[in-house]
Amino acid sequence: MVWARLRISGVRTSRRRVLRLMREHGLLSPRRVRQGKGISHEGTITTDAPDVMWGTDGTRVLTAEEGMCWVFTAVDHYNCEVVGSHVCKRGDRFAALQPVAQGLARHFGGLTADVGRGLSLRMDNGT
């Protein structure tokens, strides 16, 4: 804001110089801090046995032949084993569930009701 006002009034200087000078003289506004108490992480994401907790995530990658694609994976938190993976062009919620379904079929024997009872699934709840 100060740099813009200086520029309007005809003073030619760089934005970085204005910020440095204001910082040196204590003229910058105080940084905002979080209000309230933060969420403490009391647990752990590693387990003592396999097939207790899995993590899943997806990312977009650029390929030479197909263009942009989605890669989804599910990983066991005990030994970092990839229990399922799925690559597709359209990354929707159904594609994101494919690695979990692969892992359930491979490690628990199918996709019937309650087959993964007791298994925890960690995700970032992204789009």
- pLDDT tens digits, 45-98: 788 999 999 999 999 999 999 899 999 999 999 999 999 999 999 999 999 999
Is 41 inside a domain boundary? Answer: no
Give the pLDDT band of residue 101 (cuts 50, 70, 90): very high
- Apex CA 66: angle with CA 61 and CA 72, to 5°? 40
Least confident of 9-23, 39-53, 111-125: 39-53
Chain centroid to Cα 97, Å, comes to 17
* Residue 88 neighbours by CB distance under 10 Å: 15
Q: Is 65 in the same domain as 116?
A: yes
The domain in which residue 29 lies consists of 1-33
User: Does residue 96 contact residue 72 with C-beta atoms inside 8 Å?
Assistant: yes
Q: Would you state the structure tokens that stand for residue 72, as one six-digit string?
A: 């989804």
- Apex CA 100: angle with CA 99 and CA 101, to 5°? 90
Q: How many domains does the chain have?
A: 2
pLDDT averaged over every residue in the chain: 89
Whether the full predicted model's pTM is greater than 0.85, yes or no, is no
